[in-house]
Structure 1
Amino acid sequence: MINCIVVDDEPFAIGLLEDFIRKVPFLELVQTCENALEALEILKRGNIDLMFLDIKMPDINGLDLLKSLKNPPVVIFTTAYSEFAVESYNLDALDYLLKPVPFDRFLRSVNKAREYIEIGRAGSNADIPVEKAELDYFFVKANYQILKINFSDILYLEGLKDYVKIYCGPKAIMTNQSMKHIESRLPSASFVRVHRSYIVSLDKITSITKNRVVIGDKHIPVSGGFRDSFFQLIEKNL
C-alpha cells in the first residue's frame, strides 16, 4: 500500500483527487491539506510515500515546500500552470499533471510512482543493492520525465561530457545522470565497461576484434585500461 497526501488550496481539485485515489486499490489517502504548513505537520510524522502537490498556493507555494524538505516523499505536481514544469523536474518531481487532470493520465502517473517506490523498498530491504532484488529494469531521468528501461533492451551506453546516452535501438535516451551511477545500477553479469566512455551489453555483442566490440553496425573501441579484464571475461565464456 502507498500512503499519500494531497496538498491543494482548491476544494474542487482536492475532491477530484480524493475520488481518483479511492479508485486505485494500492493508494491509501492519509490526509488532505489546504496549504503547505498543514502538509509540513503531516510529513513530520513520517510514513508518507507519495504527495500530490499543487504549486500556486498562498504563503508557501508547492515548489518552495518541496525545496524545504530534507527527505521528501515521491512528488507528483498537480497544477493549472505549465510554465513550472522544468523547475519541478529540477527538484526531482516524478511527474507533472496539468489540471483538469483526466483519470487515465492520473492512473499512468500513479503506476509510475508505484514502480518507483517499490524499487526504493526493494533496495532498502536488508540493505541489499537494487540489482540483487532481481529486478530486470531500472529508471532514469530523461527529457523532464522518469523513464523505465528494461536491461534486456539496452545495446550499449555512451558517456559524454555532461550526460549519458543509453542505446536501446536506433534512438538513444539521454540522461544527465552520471556514468558511474548508471553503471552501479546495471547487473554486472550482463554489462561490462570496455572504455572510459562505453559500457556494452554482453548479450548484444555481434563480434569482437583486438580493439573493437561490434554491436550491430556500431564499432565500439576497447581501451587499454579495460582490455585485460574484458578479454578475461570473454575467455571464461569460450
Structure 2
Amino acid sequence: MNKINVIIIEDELLATKRLQRLVANIECLKLLGSYQYLINAKEILASGGVNLMILNIQAQGSETLRFIKSLSNPPFIIIVTHQREFAADGFELEVIDYILKPSLTQERFEKAINKIGNFIILQKNKQLDQIIKFKDGHKSLFINSGHIFYIKALGDYVQIITKHENHTVSTTLKDLEKTLNEKGFVRIHRSHIVNVNQIKAVDAIQVSLKNNLKLDIGLKYRNNLYSIMGL
C-alpha cells in the first residue's frame, strides 16, 4: 500500500499522543500534523494532500458532523470518541470507522486501517474494469471508457472521440460492437457507436451527447437504442 497521509484532530493532549503512537506503529501511515480543533485543520484539508483524518467528536458533536458534511472532497475519516450517540450519523456520512475510546487498541486501529486498504484495492480494480483495450496492428491502446463520447467509422479504421483527444485505430465498428456492448456502449447508426453514459437527450432522429454534439439515429438501430434508454 502507498503512504497514507494522516492528520489527527483531538483536543485532549494524552489522547493525541496515544493516536500519534498508533499511527507511528503502522508503516503505511505518514502523520502530517496534529490539531486541537477542526478550524485549525481547514487549511491543510483544503490543500488536498490529506488521505485520512482521525478525529474526536468534540464538545459540540453536531458541529463536527456538519463540518464533515461540508467537505467537498473529504479524505477517509476515522472517528475516535467517547460519544456513542453520534455513531449512526457518522456512518451515514460514510466514515471508514467509528471507534469508541475504551475499545481503541493497536489491533482495533489496524483493523480500521485495513478497511482503507481494502477500499483502495476495490477502487483500483473498478478503475481497471473501466479500461478498454483497442488493438491497432502490433500495438494496443488503453482508454478509460468514461472518457469516450462515441466511436465513428472511417472505412477500415475507426476514430475514438474522447474528452481529451481523438484516436484513429485500424479496426471496424463491426469488430468492436460486441465487446463495447458489454462496456455500456450502443450502436445507433452504421457509422456510430455511442457511450450510453454520455447521452444527454434522444429524439426521433438524433442523439444529443453531453459535449453538445448531435448524431443521427439509423432506423435499423432505433428500437434497440430506445429499449436501452427505456423509451
TM-score after normalising by structure 1:
0.50
In structure 2, the residue matched to 1:86 is 88
In structure 2, the residue matched to 1:75 is 77
Deviation at 1:117, TM superposition (A): 3.1
Structure showing greater Rg: 2
How many pairs does the alignment contain? 130
In structure 2, the residue matched to 1:222 is none
Match 2:37 to one of 31, 35, 43: 35
1:10 maps onto 2:12 in alignment: yes
Which portions of structure 1, spanning 4 or more consecutive aligned residues, are displaced by more than 2 angstroms? 57-62, 117-120, 128-133
CA-atom RMSD, angstroms?
Answer: 2.4
| 1:129-168 matches, cutoff 5 A | 129-131=127-129
TM-score after normalising by structure 2:
0.51
SS in 2 for 1:129: helix
Contact 1:49/1:117, CA 8 A, preserved across alignment: no
SS in 2 for 1:113: helix
Deviation at 1:131, TM superposition (A): 3.2
- Provide the rounded CA distance (Å) in 1 between the counterparts of 2:22 and 2:75: 19
Q: Residue by residue, what CA displacement relative to the aligned partner does 1:69-97 show, whole Å, maximum 9, x if unpaired?
A: 11100111110011111000111111101
In structure 1, the residue matched to 2:141 is none
Contact 2:81/2:99, CA 8 A, preserved across alignment: yes
Deviation at 1:61, TM superposition (A): 3.8
- The amino acid of 1:71's aligned partner reads N
Deviation at 1:119, TM superposition (A): 3.6
- Provide the rounded CA distance (Å) in 2 between the counterparts of 1:58 and 1:18: 24
Deviation at 1:62, TM superposition (A): 2.4
Contact 2:6/2:53, CA 8 A, preserved across alignment: yes
In structure 2, the residue matched to 1:48 is 50
- Provide the rounded CA distance (Å) in 1 between the counterparts of 2:12 and 2:66: 18
Deviation at 1:30, TM superposition (A): 0.6
Q: Residue by residue, what CA displacement relative to the aligned partner does 1:99-151 show, whole Å, maximum 9, x if unpaired?
A: 0311111010011112223444x26xxxx735358xxxxxxxxxxxxxxxxxx
